[in-house]
Amino acid sequence: MLNEKIVVLSVLLMLVFSSCTKKEPAAPSAPANTATPGNTFTMTDTPTATHTGTPEDTHTATSTETGTATATNTGTPTETPTITPTMTPTLVVIVESGQTRRWADNTRACSCEEYIRPSNPAYAYSGATGDGVYSIEIGGDIFDTYCDMTYDNGGWTLVLLNSSHATPPQPYWDQVVNLQNITGDLFDGLTAFDMFLGVKFWNQLGTVLRVEAGAGPASLSHRSTYTFSLNVPDHFAISLSNENILIHTEGTASPGLYTYHNGRRLTTRDMDNDAYGSGNCSHAANNTAWWYGSCWSGSFWGSGGAGGSQNKPYWTGSGSGGEYFDWGAMWVR
Ligand SMILES: [Ca+2]
Ligand SMILES: [Ca+2]
């Protein structure tokens, strides 16, 4: 019974409280904004920017483009080319003055080789060319001598000559070293004088010695060439090598100058540098200067006019058995 009362009471209580707490939602109010969707609005802003900081930016631009540009010109060129004329320089040639030759500007070459093949391109072997007497200047010393401008391309300077038409020079040491020792007439052809050019000049004229002998310059029996030099501090001792026999029509091919006198020192009447222990070989050969040994076999002065030998150029030997000729010469190139 009690339980039934509680249930009833609970139902009543539930009904009472339920009726006072139930609340209906308020009706929605009309929206304040009545804009219709679909309208277009344009907003106009005025942006304001404030830049602060240090405006010292550094910008680096890098280009890495490569390629080849090709252009082809077409049309008619209208430029007129400018032609610069090539000037032909006036070369200094050879002139003959008196009985000798020199350069037209009054200077002189230092050898016959320098005349025919001048190292200075301003000079030319032209004008009064050919075989004959030329003026040579070496270290301020001037002398006239023959140039052979014909044989084997020319350029040969005469340094020693023994012609049968003159007596040999008899130079003292200073003379055979420094001077041009001449007897006879230098300007009357290659058979009219004897000459021993100062040996201090020989090395300046070239490195090849040409030795020849015969009845005359146009009728040779011998001709040979050598690589040569004179040893100045050793009394101008002569040094010959690389023999080349070019003409040999009789007798011995090699001259005594090469087979006997090569390497010997020069001796004069006042300077005994020979290998003869009993005196001066020059005194036995009429004071002629030569590269004496003890004493000679093939001196181009022969006896010099003394003793029993010929006063002529010897190719080899001495005395009556030697091979001698009327004419002998030495040239350097
Ligand atoms: Ca002579
Ligand atoms: Ca001696």
How far, in Å, is the centroid of ligand 1 from the Cα of 312?
Answer: 6
State the ligand closest to the CA atom of 269.
2
Residue 18 has pLDDT above 80, yes or no: no
Q: Which run of H or of E encompasses 113?
A: helix 112-116
Q: Which of 56-70, 122-136, 178-192 has the lowest average pLDDT? A: 56-70
* 245-298 per-position pLDDT tens digit: 999 999 999 999 999 999 999 999 999 999 999 999 999 999 999 999 999 999
Residue 213 has pLDDT above 50, yes or no: yes
| Strand blocks (E) in the chain | 92-97, 100-103, 123-127, 132-138, 141-148, 156-163, 180-184, 193-197, 208-216, 219-231, 237-248, 314-316, 323-324, 327-332
Cα R_g (the chain), whole angstroms: 58
How far, in Å, is the centroid of ligand 2 from the Cα of 289?
Answer: 13
Four-CA torsion 97, 101, 104, 107, nearest 10 degrees:
-110
Three-state SS for 176?
Answer: helix
State the ligand closest to the CA atom of 184.
1
* Mean pLDDT, rounded, of the chain: 86
Q: How far apart, in whole angstroms, are the C-alpha atoms of residue 171 and residue 194?
A: 12
Nearest to 200, CA basis, from 179, 225, 227: 179
Q: What is the pLDDT of residue 49?
A: 55
Q: How far apart, in whole angstroms, are the C-alpha atoms of residue 202 and residue 307?
A: 30
How far, in Å, is the centroid of ligand 1 from the Cα of 293?
Answer: 22
Three-state SS for 324?
Answer: strand
Task: Band the pLDDT of 197: cuts 50, 70, 90.
Answer: very high
How far, in Å, is the centroid of ligand 2 from the Cα of 292?
Answer: 9
State the ligand closest to the CA atom of 265.
2
State the ligand closest to the CA atom of 280.
2
State the ligand closest to the CA atom of 286.
1
The amino acid at residue 266 is L
Q: What is the pLDDT of residue 164?
A: 83
Q: Determine what percent of the chain is predicted with pLDDT higher than 70.
A: 76
Residue 243 has pLDDT above 70, yes or no: yes
Q: What is the pLDDT of residue 312?
A: 96
Residue 115 has pLDDT above 50, yes or no: yes
Nearest to 157, CA basis, from 120, 106, 104, 116: 116
How far, in Å, is the centroid of ligand 1 from the Cα of 164?
Answer: 4
- Domains of the chain listed by start with CATH number: 155-263+324-332 (3.90.215.10)
Q: How far apart, in whole angstroms, are the C-alpha atoms of residue 147 and residue 80?
A: 53
Q: Determine what percent of the chain is predicted with pLDDT higher than 90.
A: 71
**How distant, in Å, are the alpha carbons of 39, 117, 123, 317 from that of 120?**
105, 9, 6, 44
Q: How far apart, in whole angstroms, are the C-alpha atoms of residue 157 and residue 128?
A: 17
State the ligand closest to the CA atom of 293.
2
Task: Band the pLDDT of 63: cuts 50, 70, 90.
Answer: low
